[in-house]
Amino acid sequence: MQKPVLTVVAALAALFLVAAASAQVTVRKSAGSKIGVDLSGLQVSGAAAQTVRRTLELDLDRSGWMEVAPAGQGSFAVRGSIVEAGGQVAFKCQVTDAAGQTYVNAAYAQPANQAVRLAHQVANDVVVKTTGKPTFFLGELVLIGVKGRTKELYLADSSCQVIQPLTNDGTVLKPRWSPDNRLIAYTSYLKRWPDVFTIDRATGARAQASFYPGLNSGGAISPNGRSMALVLSKDGVSPDLYVQDMPTKRLTRLTNTPQATEGSPCWSPDGSRIVYVSNASGSPQLYVISSSGGAPQRLTTRGTQNVAPDWGKNGLIAYQTYTGGKFQIAVMDPATRQERILTPFDASYEDPSWAPDGRHLAAARSIQYNYSVYLLDSMAALGDKPVALTSTGEWTSPAWSR
C-alpha cells in the first residue's frame, strides 16, 4: 500500500531549516590544566606497534585530563615495549609517578589488525588508574557515511581510525544505540518509505521495529530496553510522539498536536521522561514529557531553532541551536534551564551525541555543506578547538555507544 508520507516528511524536514534569528546563551567553562604523561620510555618495533604508540598518544591528548609531555617531564611516565611479531602485537606497560609509585603494571596482546583496539584499552587503563576518571576510548560510534546520493550506517572505533559498513539500504537517518549496546535503531528507506529498523551490533541481524502507514521515525530505545520512542503519522497528517512496548508492539500515544510536527525523541537517563522537538510554538523547540503521558513542557525559549537533543547520563541535554548565522552545540541543565554554547562559531555543528565518559561529545561539523565528525569537550576552555575524528569522506549523525 502506498504511504502518504510526502506531506509529513516535508513537515518534519521543516524542523531543521536554517532560520535567521540568534539565541543568547552563555559559553563553556574551563577544566583547568592537564596532567603531563611522558611516553619517551616506550620501545617500539613494527608497523602495528607504531599504530599502538600513535593511538595511545592521541587518546591521552584527547582525554581532557592528560597530555603527552616532553621527554623527562610530566607527572607520570609510561615505560615498556610495544612489539609486533608473528601476527600479534604485544605491549608490556608500566605506569609510575614521580615518586616511583606504580599505577599500571600489565601485559597486553592482540592480533596485529587489532592494534587500535589494544591502544584504546591501554589508554583507558592509564587514565582510569591514575586519575579515577572515566574515558570514551572503549566506546564505539555509529556514523552515517554519505556517498553520492546514498547514506549508510558505519561502525567506527572511538578515534574513527577503523570504520566498517553496517547497512546497504540506500538512505538511512538518525541512528541510536540500545542501553546495552547490542542494538542500533535507525530510520531506513529500504522499502521506499521511512520505517524504523534495529540492527544487531554483533551479528548484523536486522528487524523491522516500526512499519505503520505514513512516517515512522525516532527509534529511541528506553534505558530499561523494553520500550521504544517513535514518531508516527499513522493517526493523522502530522507526526506525533508514541511509546511502543518492544516485546508486544503495544503503542501508547503521548502527543496529539494536529497543527504541529514532532521529532527526535530521546529518553532521560532514568527513563521517566522524553525530550523531543516540536514546532507547536511556530518554530522547532525542545519539549519534555513524561514517558507515561501527560502535558508536555517547553524547555527552550531562546532562538528560532533548537533541535537534535541527546540526554546524557550526566543529566545534561545537548542539542543544536541556531545562533550567529550557524548551528552550534549547546548544553542545558533541564532542572535549571541554564544553557551553554560549546562550539567556537568557526562552522556549523549538528547532531551532538554524548560520549560514554559524560564529558565529551561527537558532532557533525559542516562547512559549505561538507560534513565531518568532530570531538567536543564540554569542559574545555573557550577557544579550544574541536578535534577532527574523520579526515576523509563525508560523515554525519554520529551516535556514541552507551
- Mean pLDDT of successive 10-residue segments in the chain (402 residues)? 41 38 36 86 98 98 96 97 98 97 98 98 99 98 95 98 96 97 97 95 95 96 98 92 97 94 98 98 97 97 95 98 95 96 94 98 95 96 81 96 96
DSSP secondary-structure letter at 113? G
Distances 143 to 82, 83, 95, 201, 397 between C-alpha atoms, Å: 31, 32, 34, 13, 6
Q: Are 49 and 32 spatial neighbours (Cβ–Cβ below 8 Å)?
A: no
* Total-model pTM: 0.91
Q: Are 230 and 239 spatial neighbours (Cβ–Cβ below 8 Å)?
A: no
Q: Are 310 and 319 spatial neighbours (Cβ–Cβ below 8 Å)?
A: yes
- Domain boundary pick from 98, 131, 164: 131
Instruction: Look at residue 9 in the predicted model and tell me its pLDDT.
Output: 42
Long-range contacts of 272-278 (CB under 8 A, 24+ apart): 274/220, 274/229, 274/241, 274/243, 275/299, 275/309, 275/311, 275/317, 275/334, 276/229, 276/231, 276/241, 276/309, 277/15, 277/306, 277/307, 277/308, 277/309
Instruction: Look at residue 32 in the predicted model and tell me its pLDDT.
Output: 57
d(CA 304, CA 318): 17
- Domain boundary pick from 86, 101, 131: 131
- Which residues, listed in sequence order, are joined to residue 177 by a DSSP beta bridge? 184
Which CATH number belongs to the domain containing residue 50 in this structure?
3.40.50.10070
Task: List, as one string, the DSSP characters of 73-92.
Answer: -SSEEEEEEEEEETTEEEEE
Instruction: Look at residue 383 in the predicted model and tell me its pLDDT.
Output: 54
d(CA 369, CA 367): 5
Residues 63 and 164 in one domain: no
Looking at the domain assignment, is residue 1 inside a domain? Answer: no
- Domain boundary pick from 104, 131, 158: 131
Non-local (6+) Cβ contacts of 36 within 8 A are 66, 67, 68, 69, 73, 74, 75, 76
Give the torsion through C-alpha atoms of 294, 185, 8, 245, to 10 deg.
Answer: -40
Residues 315 and 365 in one domain: yes
Residue with cell 529500504: 190
Residues 121 and 255 in one domain: no
**Element (DSSP H or E) covering residue 120:** helix 115-131
Instruction: Look at residue 139 in the predicted model and tell me its pLDDT.
Output: 98
d(CA 128, CA 354): 19
Which residue, 12, 8, 24, 99, is CA-closest to 323?
Answer: 24
Domain that holds residue 56: 35-131
Query: Degrees (nearest 5) of the Cα angle 245, 207, 147?
Result: 120
